Amino acid sequence: MLQSRRIYLPPLSLIGPGALNDLGEELKELPYKKALFVTDKILVKIGVANKVLEVLKASGIEVVVFDNVQPNPTVENVNEGLKLLKDNSCDLILTLGGGSPQDCGKAIGILATNGGNIEDYEGIHKSKNKSLPIIAINTTAGTASEVTINYVITDVKRHIKMVMVDKNCLVSIAVNDPELMLGKPADLTAATGMDALTHAIETYVTKGAFGWSDALALEAIKLISSSLEQAVTDGSDIEARSKMAWGQFIAGQAFSNAGLGFVHSMAHQLGGMYDLPHGVANAILLPHVEKFNIPACAPKLKKVARAMGVGVLDMSDIEGANAAIEAIKKLSRSVGIPSGLRELGVKEEDFEIMAQNALEDVCTGGNPREVTIEDTIELYRSAL
């Protein structure tokens, strides 16, 4: 039986080559006077930030730049940005970058209207008030934070990533212009692209999946698996970049409304403990966790294999599911993802505490198969 659903999406999304220029037209109609511009130093250094600043200047909006966001944004980053926002009486937040500036900007926006400490909002729908208005400009085809009701902040004192699922953090305008993604380094393209693929696959098999999210997830899997290697090989290929932008965009909409699974729960611990790139952690863990999940979702994993271009017509569900695992591994290898966690300095002695924290992660409830601490430790071990 069909069930009622709440679908959370940004009021406006601009996507495709030239979308940044479209934003300039939108800004002229908005009442905001001063924006906190949340980004990172790399985007400032390579000139991407300046392109956006020119658009803002033309629209008449004053800008205060905050570019101290770390790759895994921390509580300290959020507090520093919030102070700058308050000191300058900003009435808008504009984020530029991948998931890190987007997540940091969301956290700042929630604190600006709700008060307290960001640690107070870990979990599901903890805030009461809508965020300060946010315009999110994405520069990587990966996290899709610009369209989701999720954000993640690292608590360095506890060595964990805090996951917030909060409808009040949804941005006002999301921008995905693949022209801003051109020329990005191959390793970044690979990591963020595999992150997007993980979103699509996890949301397709999650307990919360439904018809709408399934359709988006399968289309995202097709787009990403058919264009990621080319985007990595030739970072100037606008067609590949555009397909990746669309793939991560719709995968983000799907998982924001259906949920994720245990790949993310485990990857969050690797980020919190070792400060590892989130996309790389997801890519390494994805085939191991989905192999574990086969008993609970083999028919769906068979469809994942088909979406990735595998001929599964004469395969059983189990054979098709295993073919999906192999297709994931093959794509990961082709774009240069490390083969295991050992290459990244992960130590077996940390498995137990990471496993305990993973079981408490907000994404765990969506996994199609129940997981024990023993299962989790063995999954980390298999990914070494």
Where among 134, 165, 180 does a domain terminate?
180
pLDDT in tens, 42-91: 999 999 999 999 998 899 999 999 999 999 999 999 999 999 999 999 99
Residue 7 lies in a domain: no
Give the residue-averaged pLDDT of 145-173: 95
**Length of the chain (residues):** 384
Do 194 and 312 have their domain in common?
Answer: yes
Q: Are 232 and 190 in contact (CB under 8 A)?
A: yes
Domain boundary among the residues 180, 195, 217 is at: 180
Structural domain that includes position 349? 186-382
264 and 173 within one domain = no
- On whether residue 278 sits in a domain, the answer given is yes
Q: In 3D, which of 169, 182, 181, 160 has the Cα closest to residue 136?
A: 169
pLDDT of residue 4: 86
91 and 41 housed in the same domain: yes
- Token pair of 151 as six digits: 């954000």
Q: What is the pLDDT of residue 163?
A: 94
Same domain, 222 and 270: yes
Domain assignment present for residue 304? The answer is: yes
Is the model's pLDDT at 2 over the cut of 90? no
Report the pLDDT value the prediction gives residue 28, as an integer from 0 to 100: 87
The mean per-residue pLDDT over the stretch 313-330 comes to 98
- In this structure, the answer to whether residues 252 and 368 fall within a common structural domain is yes
**pLDDT at position 252, please?**
97
User: Residue 86 domain-assigned?
Assistant: yes
| Partners of residue 137 on adjacent β-strands | 96, 175
Q: With respect to residue 4, please indicate whether it lies within any of the assigned structural domains.
A: no
For 332-337, what is the mean pLDDT? 98
Band (pLDDT 50/70/90 cuts) for residue 243 is very high
The mean pLDDT of 347-369, rounded to a whole number, is: 97
- Does residue 269 have a pLDDT over 80? yes
Confidence of residue 201 (pLDDT cuts 50, 70, 90): very high
Mean pLDDT for the stretch of residues 226-254: 98
Mean pLDDT of 153-167: 93
Mean pLDDT of the residues in the chain: 96
Same structural domain, 338 and 288:
yes
Q: Rounded CA gap, 169 and 71, in Å? A: 20
334 and 200 assigned to the same domain: yes
| Dist CA 374 CA 106 (whole Å) | 35
Number of domains forming the structure of the chain: 2
Q: Would you call 7 helix, strand, or coil by DSSP?
A: coil
Is the domain of 142 the same as that of 286? no
**pLDDT reported for residue 3:** 80
Is there a single domain that holds both residue 310 and residue 333?
yes
Q: Which of 129, 149, 180 is the last residue of a domain?
A: 180
Task: Give the CATH number of the domain where residue 314 resides.
Answer: 1.20.1090.10
Q: Are residues 200 and 148 in the same domain?
A: no
- Mark whether 359 and 220 lie in a shared domain: yes
Q: Is residue 1 part of a domain?
A: no
156 — pLDDT class (breaks 50, 70, 90): very high
Q: Which residues of 275-310 are buried (b: 16+ CB within 10 A; e: fewer)?
A: ebbbbbbbbbbbbbbbbbbbeebbebbbbbbbbbeb
Is residue 3 in a domain?
no
Task: Give the residue-averaged pLDDT of 92-115.
Answer: 97
Instruction: State residue 1's pLDDT score.
Output: 56
98 class by beta-carbon count within 10 Å (0-12 exposed, 13-18 middle, 19+ buried): buried
Give the CATH number of the domain where residue 171 resides.
Answer: 3.40.50.1970
Position 139 in a domain: yes
Distances (CA, A) of 169 to 124, 133, 140: 11, 9, 20
Regarding whether 234 and 160 lie in a shared domain, the answer is no
Question: Could you give the 3-state DSSP secondary structure of residue 138?
Answer: strand
Residue 260 · residue 266 · CB < 8 Å: no
Written as one letter, the residue type at 24 is G
Give the global pTM.
Answer: 0.95
Tell me the mean pLDDT in the region 97-107. 96
